[in-house]
Amino acid sequence: MSSDVCKHCTSAACLDVCPTGSLFRTEFDTVVVQEDICNGCGYCVSACPYGVIDRREVDGRAWKCTLCYDRIGDGLEPACAKACPTDSIQFGDLDELRERAQRRVEDLQDAGVSSARLYGEDPEDGVGGAGAFFLLLDEPEVYGLPPDPVVTTRDLPSMWRHAGSAAVVLLAGGLAAFAGRRS
Amino acid sequence: MSNPELDGMGPSERGRDAITGAAGVVSEAQRTERDQAREAERPSGRPEGRRRRGGEPTRVPDADFRSYHGRPVLNGVVWEARDIGGYLFLGGLAGASSVLAAGAEATGRADLGRPLKYTALVAISGSLVALVHDLGRPERFLNMLRVFKPTSPMSMGSWLLAGYGPLVGTAAVTAATGWFPRIGSAATMGAGVLGPLVATYTAPLICDTAVPSWHEGHREMPYVFASSAVAAAGGMGLVTTPTEHAGPFRRAAVGGALTELAVSTCMEKRMGLVGEPYGRGLAGALTRTAKALTLAGAVGSVLGRRNRVVSALSGAALVGGSALTRLGIFQAGVQSAEDPKYTVVPQRERLRQRA
């Protein structure tokens, strides 16, 4: 079993590209869609490197895991963690979870499960670390997870520069066509 | 060998215990016990370091790749090709038409620019319709104007259109009616300045995504879009203008077409593996047809420069080529998101190079 939970990236592409401000970062550092503001443009769907957020067929708006924004606001743990009978899904402070996960990986590796590894726990990774990370027993892609996700907006400054210079070239080229001899 | 996952025997017994055993934690007592047992088991003199610990299983570098039953990593592109592919094309046609109309105005040939002012208005209205159709309901467009967000090309584009649209409308209406010529002239110039941005911002719009065949082309894409837009607008000029006055449009059309062919071919080659969708399936067919039309249009507009019909047909071929170019690029992105190969293999390669 692997839950297709939102990773709540520290650098979240969905949030960056949202043109309406519907996606926002909460006081818990999670990423949540305000469904009354979402206009269904679908940009976040293509921006997510994990394939998590998606359009709901019936109303065309974007929906995803909120890490139970309503519950954690009331001091409860998210429903998935609460419901899981084996505590496979754990909720808590990230630093403490990282520590606990590291210990668990070491236990597993000592026990001969050499393929055990953590995924998404590194704050230095391409999304600045995920708010929901995993203990995997194989390579991430085997679970349908990208092996080295990078937030797409990391390259956006370069994209704007190229778009700007292409616009200048277009303007110059278009006007240059009118230079010279008149017929 | 010490890797039970790879020798076909499944996890070792201890490994199985650890995986399936009681929730989450191995108690300190168990851990100590285990360490002692391991100590006793280990043949004396065998160095601890030889036991594999935390290492990746060694494996021949993936010629192919692994995935979850071949299912895509990314969610599919939810946009309709007709809406958003069309939007990319119409924005380009409108933007470059405004530039050519401004060029005509600036060199005292306002008559020459008139059809392109109409083209720009029709195209930008069409792109707005396409966008609204994609959103589902017209009032949803208003939510685009809640925030001003440079990290979102769609937000910037919405503001750009909010400024550009009225200018194009004013330029077209004043040209048609002859009212307020000074305002019309100023609007034409304003649209000419914003037009290039309208034509090129759509490149960051699609490249600022996780879609491999779009994102990887983010350096060249704006130039592809700009040149394709000029080819289309020049083509429209050839369609609407008698040959003896169409010189500027012919130069723009040929320059745009040749630049587009060169830059897009270069982009597809440089992208390597993720450039592959541009040559495969529907995207491949669209891209090849686009290039053939663009080349034919460029050649025809030069060879047929004295023939009204050939010129007009060449112009139409360029407009069609530009539309198919955008649809091909759109479709290549869709195909690249559907196949986990284009997501996994380049990321694996990146990890390998970093290691």
ipTM: 0.95
Q: Alpha-carbon distance A144 to B338, whole Å?
A: 13
Q: Is residue B193 scored above 50 in pLDDT? A: yes
pLDDT of residue A2: 72
Q: Is residue B115 scored above 60 in pLDDT? A: yes
For B57, nearest residue in chain A (alpha carbons): A115
Closest CB to A159 among B207, B223, B333: B207
pLDDT of residue B137: 86
Establish, for the pair of chains A and B, how many residue pairs have beta carbons separated by less than 8 Å: 292
Contact assessment for residue A13 and residue A153, using Cβ atoms and an 8 Å cutoff = yes
| Ramachandran angles phi, psi of B130, nearest 5° | -60, -40
Q: Alpha-carbon distance B230 to A171, whole Å?
A: 10
> Chain A closest CA to B144's CA: distance in Å?
5
Buried b (16+ CB within 10 A) or exposed e, B236-248: bbbbbbebeebbb
pLDDT of residue B6: 46
Q: Which chain B residues are closer than 8 Å to A59 by Cβ?
A: 136
Q: Alpha-carbon distance B209 to A171, whole Å?
A: 27
Is A9's Cβ below 8 Å from some Cβ in B? no
CATH fold of B81-337, please?
Formate dehydrogenase/DMSO reductase fold (1.20.1630)
Higher pLDDT, B62 or B209: B209
pLDDT of residue A180: 72
User: What is the DSSP secondary-structure string of B130-194?
Assistant: HHHHHHSSGGGGGGGGS---TT-HHHHHHHHHHHHHHHHHHHHHHHHH---HHHHHHHHHHHHHH
Report pLDDT digits (tens) over B217-247. Answer: 999 999 999 999 999 999 999 999 999 999 9
Average per-residue pLDDT for chain B: 88
Closest CB to B247 among A42, A60, A183: A183
Is A172's Cβ below 8 Å from some Cβ in B? no
Report pLDDT digits (tens) over B134-179. Answer: 998 888 899 999 999 999 999 999 999 999 999 999 999 999 999 9
Closest CB to B210 among A19, A49, A55: A49
| Ramachandran angles phi, psi of B338, nearest 5° | -80, -20
Q: Which of A145-149, B5-9, B42-46, B54-58 has the highest mean pLDDT?
A: A145-149
- Yes or no, beta carbons of A178 and B109 under 8 Å apart: yes
Higher pLDDT, A90 or B29: A90
- Yes or no, beta carbons of A20 and B143 under 8 Å apart: yes
> All domains of chain A, ordered by start, with CATH?
13-176 (3.30.70.20)
Q: Is residue B215 scored above 50 in pLDDT? A: yes
pLDDT of residue A183: 53
Contact assessment for residue A30 and residue A71, using Cβ atoms and an 8 Å cutoff = no
Q: Alpha-carbon distance B99 to B107, whole Å?
A: 12
pLDDT of residue B47: 41
Higher pLDDT, B30 or A56: A56
pLDDT of residue B29: 63
Q: Is B9 exposed, middle or buried (0-12, 13-18, 19+ CB in 10 A)?
A: exposed
Interface of A with B in 76-115 (CB under 8 A): 86-88, 90, 100, 103-115
Q: Which chain B residues are closer than 8 Å to A174 by Cβ?
A: 96, 99-100, 102-103, 196, 230, 233, 252
Is A122's Cβ below 8 Å from some Cβ in B? no
- Yes or no, beta carbons of A168 and B14 under 8 Å apart: no
pLDDT of residue B3: 46
Cross-strand bridge partners of residue A118: A135
Q: Which chain B residues are closer than 8 Å to A60 by Cβ?
A: 135-136
Report the sign of the C-alpha dihedral through residues B49, B52, B54, B57, in that order. positive
In chain A, at which residue ranges do the beta strands (DSSP E only) sit? Answer: 23-25, 31-33, 54-55, 62-63, 117-119, 134-136
By percentage, how much of chain A surpasses pLDDT 70? 98
For A157, nearest residue in chain B (alpha carbons): B151
Which of the residues A171, A182, A183 would you substitute to probe the B interface, choosing the one with the greatest number of B C-beta atoms within 10 Å? A171
3-state secondary structure of B83: helix
Q: Is residue B344 scored above 60 in pLDDT? A: yes
Going by the DSSP 8-state scheme, the letter that residue B55 receives in this structure is P
Average per-residue pLDDT for chain A: 94
Buried b (16+ CB within 10 A) or exposed e, B11-35: bbebbebbeeeeeeebeeeeeeebe
For B348, nearest residue in chain A (alpha carbons): A147
Q: Which chain B residues are closer than 8 Å to A18 by Cβ?
A: 149, 152
Comparing A83-87, A143-147, B132-136, B183-187, the range with the smallest average pLDDT is B132-136
Report pLDDT digits (tens) over A42-91. Answer: 999 999 999 999 999 898 999 999 999 999 999 999 999 999 999 999 99
- Residue type, position B198, single letter: V
Q: Which chain A residues are closer than 8 Å to B161 by Cβ?
A: none
Instruction: Tell me which residue has tokens 């990208």.
Output: A146
Report the sign of the C-alpha dihedral through residues B108, B112, B113, B118, in that order. positive
Q: Which chain B residues are closer than 8 Å to A171 by Cβ?
A: 99, 192-193, 195-196
pLDDT of residue B289: 98
pLDDT of residue B27: 57
Q: Is residue B45 scored above 90 in pLDDT? A: no
Q: Alpha-carbon distance A81 to B110, whole Å?
A: 68
With a CB cutoff of 8 Å and minimum separation 6, the contacts of B69 are: none
Which of the residues A4, A20, A97 would you substitute to probe the B interface, choosing the one with the greatest number of B C-beta atoms within 10 Å? A20
CA B235 to chain centre: 23
Q: Name the residue ranges covered by the structural domains of chain B.
A: 81-337
Higher pLDDT, A124 or B13: A124
- Yes or no, beta carbons of A108 and B256 under 8 Å apart: no
Q: Alpha-carbon distance A55 to B80, whole Å?
A: 13
pLDDT of residue A39: 94
Contact assessment for residue A69 and residue A32, using Cβ atoms and an 8 Å cutoff = yes
Q: Alpha-carbon distance A80 to A70, whole Å?
A: 13
Report pLDDT digits (tens) over B269-307. Answer: 999 999 999 999 999 999 999 999 999 999 999 999 999
Report residue B194's pLDDT band, with 50, 70 and 90 as the boundaries.
very high
Q: Alpha-carbon distance A127 to A9, whole Å?
A: 6
By percentage, how much of chain B surpasses pLDDT 70? 82
| Ramachandran angles phi, psi of B208, nearest 5° | -85, 55
Closest CB to A153 among B3, B5, B151: B151
Q: Is residue B11 scored above 70 in pLDDT? A: no
Is A53's Cβ below 8 Å from some Cβ in B? yes
Going by the DSSP 8-state scheme, the letter that residue B298 receives in this structure is H
- Yes or no, beta carbons of A113 and B193 under 8 Å apart: no
- Yes or no, beta carbons of B78 and A42 under 8 Å apart: yes
